[in-house]
Every structure is written in structure tokens, then in C-alpha cells.
């Protein structure tokens, strides 16, 4: 029970950090939140008794890859264009709301019909995972496709904004 609650706290921290990573305006803070995500994934591996994998995750991804990101990011002083991209990002409250609603619905649906010693108040992560990846795999696949599509859309929007920024500001790319 204690272990499961700790696991849920880590999952919650991962999800909140992921959302924060996407919507934050400060790029160094975004890297920091990505670090939290990777460290939480390492903790999740540790909870699944894969300590070796957890430590590799911590050393390679959290420890080394983020350092490389930070080296690049901290040496950059590029001002982000204050245009539609910024406006898109400013809808962060809506993003939080939609994300929370989707997550709540998914967990509610995944927990429905599952029995546990404490009723609906508490369902073990194993049961929820089984329900998610077996019974609701269609919804999970649809969400994964949606995330993939939004990533591609984000790249498209950023490229268009950059082109717009370069032509209006007369910049040759990076502004320091």
C-alpha cells in the first residue's frame, strides 16, 4: 500500500513535470522539468525492481544528456518571437484543464469495475496498468497518436514562426 502510494506520487510528479515542460516559457526551467521527468522515470524503474535500469536512466539520461542540453541552452540568449507561438503557449491553463480532464476520465474508466480491498478509493497501479494497456489499449493508442500529431504540429508552427520572424526582423537566424 505504502509503496503503491509512493508510486502514484511519482507518477503524478512525472505528469505535472511533463505538462510544465511543455508550457513553461523559460527554456532552462523546461530543461529542469525534463530532468525531473527523467529522474521520476528512473524512480519508477526502481519501484519495479529494475534498479540497474533505474541507475542507467539516472546516469545517462538524467545525468549526461540534460547536461548537454543545458550547455546549449544556457549559452543561447535568443528572444522568442512574441507572436502566435507565444499566444499558443499562453493557453497553458486550458492545456492543464484538458490534460487533467483526460487523465481523470482515463483513470476513472480504467478503475471502473476493478475491485480492491479498499474499494474505489484505492486501486493498485498493477490493476490500473492492466486495465489501461489491455482493456483500453485503443484509447491509449489514440492518445499516443494525438501526442505524436501535436509534436509534428509544434515543429511546423515553430518553423513557420521562425521564417516569419526572420523576414520581419531582417535577422539572419540566431539573434543573440
DSSP state of 155: H
Question: Binding of another protein at residue 16 (CB under 8 A)?
Answer: no
> Quick one: which of 9, 59, 98, 100 contacts another protein (CB under 8 A)?
59
The nearest distance, CB 58 to another protein, in angstroms, is: 4
Other Cβ atoms less than 10 A from the Cβ of 42: the count is 23
Question: Binding of another protein at residue 28 (CB under 8 A)?
Answer: yes
Stretch that binds another protein, among 12-20, 25-33, 89-97, 162-170 (CB under 8 A): 25-33
Cα–Cα distance, 11 to 161 (Å, whole number): 34
Cα–Cα distance, 32 to 39 (Å, whole number): 11
59 vs 145, which CB is nearer to another protein? Answer: 59
Question: Binding of another protein at residue 35 (CB under 8 A)?
Answer: yes
Cα–Cα distance, 20 to 95 (Å, whole number): 10
Cα–Cα distance, 136 to 138 (Å, whole number): 5
Residue ranges in contact with another protein by CB under 8 A: 2-3, 26, 28-29, 32, 35, 42, 51-52, 54-56, 58-59, 62-64, 66-67, 70-71, 74
Amino acid at each position: 500500500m505504502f509503496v503503491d502510494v509512493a508510486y502514484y506520487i511519482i507518477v503524478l510528479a512525472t505528469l505535472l513535470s511533463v505538462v510544465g515542460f511543455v508550457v513553461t516559457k523559460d527554456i532552462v526551467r523546461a530543461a529542469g522539468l525534463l530532468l525531473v521527468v527523467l529522474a521520476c522515470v528512473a524512480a519508477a524503474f526502481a519501484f519495479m525492481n529494475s534498479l540497474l535500469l533505474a541507475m542507467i536512466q539516472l546516469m545517462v539520461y538524467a545525468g549526461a544528456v540534460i547536461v548537454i542540453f543545458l550547455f546549449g541552452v544556457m549559452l543561447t540568449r535568443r528572444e522568442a518571437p512574441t507572436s502566435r507561438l507565444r499566444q499558443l503557449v499562453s493557453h497553458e491553463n486550458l492545456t492543464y484543464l484538458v490534460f487533467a480532464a483526460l487523465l481523470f476520465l482515463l483513470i476513472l474508466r480504467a478503475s471502473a469495475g476493478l475491485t480492491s480491498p479498499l474499494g474505489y478509493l484505492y486501486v493498485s497501479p498493477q490493476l490500473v496498468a492492466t486495465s489501461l494497456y489491455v482493456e483500453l489499449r485503443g484509447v491509449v493508442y489514440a492518445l499516443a497518436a494525438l501526442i505524436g500529431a501535436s509534436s509534428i504540429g509544434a515543429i511546423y508552427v515553430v518553423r513557420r514562426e521562425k521564417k516569419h520572424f526572420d523576414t520581419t526582423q531582417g535577422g539572419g537566424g540566431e539573434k543573440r
